[in-house]
């Protein structure tokens, strides 16, 4: 639903209630319509802030100034989004409409903290000139030793199946254990991994599913696909993550062929940042299935990459960065698999480095 049609729907609902002249208050249908319009506008302003569309952001704010305080599922405001990418025109517009320069997201990060983490110097200076303070993680997801975000309580991420809208679902991928589809959650496009109904009672499948949920809930990084929630108390079991419009790196390389040196370097840096975050002590995460199909493009412009699909990942608490982990399972794809894994020998996080090198070679 567009912002204009959302406004028309909301106005029409108000006129209908007024004409009825009842003291019973708005009907449930009206409340639902109004909430849908609000969610649509929230998604729009966050999207336009991400796309550096200052004109569209201004238009939305002129229609509804309260949108300057809109928040996404991680309590990030449009100012957080624009600051992270260094979009000064959008930030100036938001500040003009009274955006809280020190708003904190779910992990207590301010817009300035995000700008510092992304090393956006002009943005840092702009936010500081408006009283911006740096606290929270202080952009530590870009640092060698990031502070782990607090693990949300189960109630924070358990999603009611009724909140997921599959009316216009689109298939993203399918495997032997389940399928991944594009759906909508509270008006936001999301990727939903659904376990096949025939496997919903399989003990090993359920164990692997819960392992992936337990792993993802601990992660938050700009180059890691963001976990949003899961359905664990109903069937089918479902895992919900952000939806990335650009598809995967495998398909991109297939369509585009060779990359320019600048693009190749940027892609490599994005993957390296995400993997460095996963490999940080004391909670080392070995991906074990790093390959182009599991590296996703944020949008069709291929501005950034994110590492995803942690179904085969392993969380290890280590005492020493040179520890060798006693895991001899053969996992992942042969083409990107390190020799020690292929030969069923002991291995450590260096197997991900090998896979990373194979991606660079390709």
The residues annotated with a catalytic role in the active site are 289
Residue 219 near residue 289, CB atoms below 8 Å: no
Question: In angstroms, rounded to a whole number, what is the distance separating the alpha carbons of residues 193 and 230?
Answer: 9
Token output for 354: 């090998």
Question: In angstroms, rounded to a whole number, what is the distance separating the alpha carbons of residues 143 and 234?
Answer: 38
Residue indicated by tokens 């399918």:
174
Terminus-to-terminus CA distance in the chain, angstroms? 41
Report the phi/psi class of residue 326: left, alpha or beta, with left for phi > 0 and alpha for psi in -120 to 50: beta
Residue 294 near residue 223, CB atoms below 8 Å: no
Question: In angstroms, rounded to a whole number, what is the distance separating the alpha carbons of residues 330 and 340?
Answer: 9
Residue indicated by tokens 């359920």:
206
Cα dist. 161→6, 86, 99 in Å?
A: 25, 36, 34
**Is 108 within any annotated ligand binding site?**
no
Helix (H) or strand (E) holding 210: helix 203-216
Question: In angstroms, rounded to a whole number, what is the distance separating the alpha carbons of residues 313 and 325?
Answer: 13
Closest by alpha carbon to 212, among 241, 191, 185? 241
Token output for 33: 């319509």
Residues making up the binding site = 193
Residues making up the binding site for ATP = 193
């Amino acid at each position: 639903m567009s912002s204009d049609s959302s406004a028309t729907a909301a106005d029409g609902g108000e006129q209908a209630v007024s004409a009825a002249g009842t003291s019973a208050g708005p009907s449930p249908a009206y409340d639902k319509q109004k909430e849908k319009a609000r969610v649509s506008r929230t998604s729009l302003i966050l999207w336009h802030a991400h796309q550096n569309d200052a004109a569209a952001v201004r238009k939305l704010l002129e229609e509804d100034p309260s949108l300057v305080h809109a928040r996404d599922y991680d309590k990030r405001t449009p100012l957080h989004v624009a600051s992270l990418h260094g979009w000064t025109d959008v930030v100036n517009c938001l500040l003009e409409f009274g955006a809280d320069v020190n708003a904190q997201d779910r992990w207590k990060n301010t817009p300035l903290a995000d700008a510092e983490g992304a090393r956006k110097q002009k943005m840092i200076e702009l936010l500081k000139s408006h009283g911006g303070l740096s606290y929270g993680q202080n952009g530590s997801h870009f640092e060698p030793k990031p502070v782990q975000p607090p693990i949300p309580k189960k109630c924070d991420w358990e999603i009611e199946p009724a909140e997921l809208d599959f009316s216009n679902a689109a298939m993203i991928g399918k495997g032997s254990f389940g399928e991944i589809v594009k759906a909508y959650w509270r008006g936001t496009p999301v990727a939903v991994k659904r376990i096949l109904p025939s496997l919903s009672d399989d003990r090993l499948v359920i164990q692997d599913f819960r392992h992936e949920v337990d792993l993802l809930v601990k992660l938050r990084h700009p180059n890691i696909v963001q976990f949003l929630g899961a359905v664990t108390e109903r069937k089918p079991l479902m895992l919900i993550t952000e939806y990335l419009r650009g598809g995967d790196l495998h398909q991109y390389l297939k369509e585009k062929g060779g990359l320019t040196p600048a693009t190749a370097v940027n892609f490599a840096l994005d993957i390296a940042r995400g993997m460095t975050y996963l490999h940080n002590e004391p909670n080392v995460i070995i991906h074990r299935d790093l390959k182009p199909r599991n590296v996703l493009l944020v949008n069709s412009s291929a501005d950034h990459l994110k590492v995803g699909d942690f179904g085969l990942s392993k969380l290890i608490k280590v005492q020493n960065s040179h520890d060798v982990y006693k895991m001899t399972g053969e996992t992942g794809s042969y083409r990107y698999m390190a020799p020690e894994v292929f030969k069923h020998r002991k291995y450590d996080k260096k197997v991900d480095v090998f896979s990373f090198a194979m991606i660079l070679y390709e």
